[in-house]
A and B are shown apart, each in its own frame.
Chain A
């Protein structure tokens, strides 16, 4: 019975150590994001949705855009702040803001261990790359 404090302390230490990656990640979230060196757009301060939403759900948003534009012919997107955008990732996302997809899309996908987006196999961004490099 007298070992109880020892056991509890040992268990606490064990659980704390085992869960290190989780709380370390949670505490240093901003630092980890900064270490990614994601280049933020110079021209625009506000994305088509709040940054926190885009970080977690940009894939759903892009899929909605795709389906609505291709299937329902709805090519305009009214954002949360009332602004209207074309549902055109090349023109709206790449040309206007994220001019270097390698430094934006792919860097984060690599960091998160997600395969690179295959949008650009068909959607052309060579004009954006050439403008960005010049």
Chain B
């Protein structure tokens, strides 16, 4: 069979058109599928707010810290160099150094502020971990796989909030009573607040928020416009720690 030049060009053009059409159909159907599946599964982003005014109601109250420590087997070392921090307090002037003036420093500067892991939207600790031992889960919790941590402490250097602690020695002897439902850690791993992900899995809220009698710690879903947390953030002015770094903290402070 002989094919003329004209026929050849005509056939090639038709073939190309058909290919392009198929691609277009595929892309469109893929797009519509992605749209529907995204709207079906609503993302969760867990967040927290510390109401500093309420937190100051009771002087020297450490219930949330104690609740966290007993839930997660956090060791208590006398030597501060070995301190393990999940939730702890620092003076206001150290937490928000830029948010004070000569006239507010006297009163506010030394007031205690609660600190914990900020569970960043874009966590620098995750980026530097060489073994994928820490990562941001789909629900916004930045978590650690203690099994995989090799103790290189890159994450501690990367975290701009000092939220991570290293186990320089075996923590077991420094734990008063061990909670059998949460592992203790071992010498040579890094740890931090985990937003009580083991309690979230059971449908419970974080231990610190639950233990606070003043309701100064509010926990909730930042993606849900009608959650208690979002309502609070709408009605009161709140700040994050070091928002200029672009890490997107999930922890807010109502000052």
A interface residues (Cβ-Cβ under 8 A, vs B): 66, 70-71, 73, 75, 90-91, 121-128
- Report how far A66 CA is from B201 CA in the complex, Å: 15
- Asked if B186 contacts A122 (CB within 8 A), the reply is yes
The chain A residue sitting closest to B170, CB to CB, is A121
Which of A122, A125, A126, A128: most chain B Cβ within 10 A?
Answer: A122
Partner of B145, one of A70, A75, A90, A125: A70
- Asked if A90 contacts B180 (CB within 8 A), the reply is yes
Contacts of A126 in B (CB 8 A): 178, 180
The chain A residue sitting closest to B185, CB to CB, is A122
Which of B180, B183, B185: most chain A Cβ within 10 A?
Answer: B180
Question: For the complex, is B2 an interface residue (Cβ under 8 Å from A)?
Answer: no
Interface size in chain B (residues, C-beta < 8 A): 15
Q: A122-B146, A126-B180 are in contact. List 11 more A-B contacts (CB 8 A).
A: A70-B145, A70-B147, A73-B137, A73-B201, A75-B201, A121-B186, A122-B185, A123-B183, A124-B178, A124-B179, A124-B183
Shortest B42–chain A CB gap in Å is 16
- Asked if A124 contacts B201 (CB within 8 A), the reply is no
The chain A residue sitting closest to B182, CB to CB, is A124
Partner of A122, one of B143, B179, B184: B184
Contacts of A71 in B (CB 8 A): 145
Interface of chain B residues 165 through 181 with chain A (CB within 8 A)? 178-181
7 smallest CB-CB distances across A and B, nearest first, come from A122-B183, A127-B180, A121-B186, A124-B180, A123-B183, A124-B178, A70-B145
19 contacts between A and B (CB under 8 A): A66-B147, A70-B143, A70-B145, A71-B145, A73-B201, A75-B201, A90-B180, A90-B181, A91-B181, A121-B186, A122-B146, A122-B183, A122-B185, A122-B186, A124-B178, A124-B179, A124-B180, A126-B180, A128-B180
